[in-house]
């Protein structure tokens, strides 16, 4: 059986451990590998390697660091197919989704290839008599990332590329459910010319998370996962004196105005709600038609489109989505569907009981559509994280605007309309961090930033882009005076004024 080890100081660690976690194949329910669950020994070895390597990496001029980024980008592109196949085998998403997972991470690597430009800092000549002021961004030292199962390539690439390009060493703790692609990424960093100890992978569970949060040599932690854990990570990390960004869960809404192109909306919803089996924080699991006529017209178009969706194994090129990640998660989604029914939702399409011929033990769920969901229902209030779409009807624009604005999560939202005024008004007023206008999954491009509000994000900075650069660096300000004259030092102890 395949064994997934830590990647420390340029290679596998080989540390003895009695704690391991099974890595399953969601397509057939069988175990395909096991991953070691590390503790203090693994983290201390990784930290020691990072401390030894980081000063020289930080001292390397930015364009040489960028050359490593360029080569790493090339290697990811070269290995896109085998990486996607490995990712799909452990996560369950179809190959096309896995390639998208990798590509969206690669876009941040591309942004980081140009980081020498944005690291230049600022300079003011003559801020006062004979006084110049300079600011420069410098690395924090050692950073860490704690990443979820649903994007085992994209999010490690988001975090690691930004941290490393800025001059930091980076220690990754990926999900134990699909740990192999992060290790492959570490190997490709090494092949690209990254020094040993700058990008490392340690595997583990809550024990490893707590060790990372408490370790005095780790200056910053970036996290993506569920909101309860994100809040825990943020609170514990900040209490330990660290800089922390912690991205949590979501319940994204799609507002459908009466003038929307419903054919476009239905196509967008099928992809956004059911793609990757709904296991993404930018999925669109709630649709809000405005007005009863809009709701009925949308529902009539949604039903045949959803019934036509093809669920298949990860390697099926014709499948829209594959299995969910674990048997436990499948059961949890099924419980939420039943809860929604018990709370009074109308079960229009029931995805429970779906079986894939020849893969009966796989973790498959058919698509589910629930209508007449209300804001009082717990199934609406919470994140289901599966192939489930809920219809919440709104009588007018104002009621539709309130739904995502008052929800506990504030990650993403979309509005579908031909009316520019309605779109502009909605974008300005909605209390959500990322907004799409006729765009169902509004993940910003790499040179902007990614981050939600309310219980979808804890901390003051977003992922990647200039926000990511701010998170992974500290700003140093230098005020210098070069007086004319003999330099007798008579005013050496007087603080200079800027007037």
Active site residues: 281
Q: How far apart are CA 135 and CA 476, in angstroms?
A: 5
> What CA–CA distances, in Å, run from 229 to 218, 223, 246?
19, 9, 9
Residue 188 vs residues 70, 79, 80, 196, 200: alpha-carbon distances, Å: 12, 9, 12, 12, 12
Read out DSSP for 151-215? -TTHHHHHHHHHHHHTT-EEEEE--SSS-HHHHHHHHHHHHTTPPTTSEEE---SHHHHHHHHH-
Where do we find the tokens 């296991």? 279
Q: What does each C-alpha distance from 92 to 84, 148, 223, 272, 454 come to in angstroms?
A: 11, 14, 22, 17, 30
Q: How far apart are CA 331 and CA 351, in angstroms?
A: 12
- Beta partners for residue 201, in sequence order: 7, 172
CA atoms within 13 A on the CB side of 491: 11
Q: Give the pair of three-digit tokens for residue 228.
A: 């309860």
Residue with tokens 């001059």: 167
- Strands 409-410 and 243-247: what pairing? unpaired
């Amino acid at each position: 059986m395949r064994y997934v080890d830590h990647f420390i100081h340029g290679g596998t660690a080989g540390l003895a451990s009695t704690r391991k976690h099974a890595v399953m194949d969601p397509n057939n329910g069988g175990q395909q590998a096991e991953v070691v669950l590390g503790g203090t020994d693994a983290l201390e070895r990784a930290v020691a390697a990072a401390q030894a390597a980081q000063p020289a990496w930080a001292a390397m001029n930015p364009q040489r660091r960028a050359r490593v980024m360029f080569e790493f980008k090339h290697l990811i592109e070269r290995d896109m197919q085998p990486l996607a196949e490995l990712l799909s085998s452990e996560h369950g998403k179809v190959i096309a989704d896995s390639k998208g997972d990798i590509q969206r991470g690669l876009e941040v690597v591309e942004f980081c290839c140009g980081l020498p430009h944005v690291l230049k800092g600022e300079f003011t000549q003559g801020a006062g008599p004979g006084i110049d002021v300079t600011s420069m961004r410098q690395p924090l030292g050692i950073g860490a990332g704690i990443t979820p199962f649903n994007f085992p390539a994209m999010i490690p690439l988001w975090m690691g590329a930004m941290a490393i390009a800025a001059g930091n060493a980076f220690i990754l703790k990926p999900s134990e459910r699909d740990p192999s692609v992060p290790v492959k990424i570490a190997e490709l960093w090494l092949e690209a010319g990254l020094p040993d100890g700058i990008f490392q992978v340690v595997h583990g569970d809550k024990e490893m998370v707590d060790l990372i949060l408490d370790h005095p040599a780790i200056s910053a932690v970036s996290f993506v996962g569920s909101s309860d854990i994100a809040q825990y990570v943020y609170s514990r990390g900040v209490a330990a004196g660290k800089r922390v960004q912690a991205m949590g869960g979501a319940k994204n809404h799609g507002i459908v105005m009466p003038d929307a192109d419903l054919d476009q909306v239905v196509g967008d919803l099928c992809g956004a709600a059911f793609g990757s089996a709904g296991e993404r924080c930018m999925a669109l699991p709630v649709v809000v038609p405005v007005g009863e006529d809009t709701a009925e017209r949308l529902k009539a178009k949604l039903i045949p489109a959803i019934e036509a969706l093809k669920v298949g194994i990860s390697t099926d090129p014709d499948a829209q989505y594959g299995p969910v990640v674990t048997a436990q998660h499948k059961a949890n989604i099924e419980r939420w569907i039943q809860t929604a029914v018990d709370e009074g939702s109308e079960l229009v399409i029931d995805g429970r009981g779906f079986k894939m011929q020849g893969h009966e033990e796989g973790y498959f769920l058919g698509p589910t559509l629930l209508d007449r969901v209300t804001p009082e229902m717990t199934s609406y209030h919470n994140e289901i994280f599966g192939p489930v779409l809920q219809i919440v009807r709104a009588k007018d624009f104002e009621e539709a605007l309130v739904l995502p604005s008052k929800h506990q999560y504030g990650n993403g939202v979309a509005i579908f309309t031909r009316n520019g005024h309605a779109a502009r008004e909605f974008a300005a007023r909605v209390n959500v961090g990322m907004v799409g206008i006729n765009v169902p999954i509004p993940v910003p491009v790499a040179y902007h930033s990614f981050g939600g509000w309310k219980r979808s994000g804890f901390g003051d900075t977003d992922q990647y882009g200039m926000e990511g650069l701010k998170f992974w660096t500290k700003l140093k300000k230098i005020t210098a005076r070069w007086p004319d004259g003999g330099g007798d030092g008579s005013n050496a102890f007087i603080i200079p004024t800027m007037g």
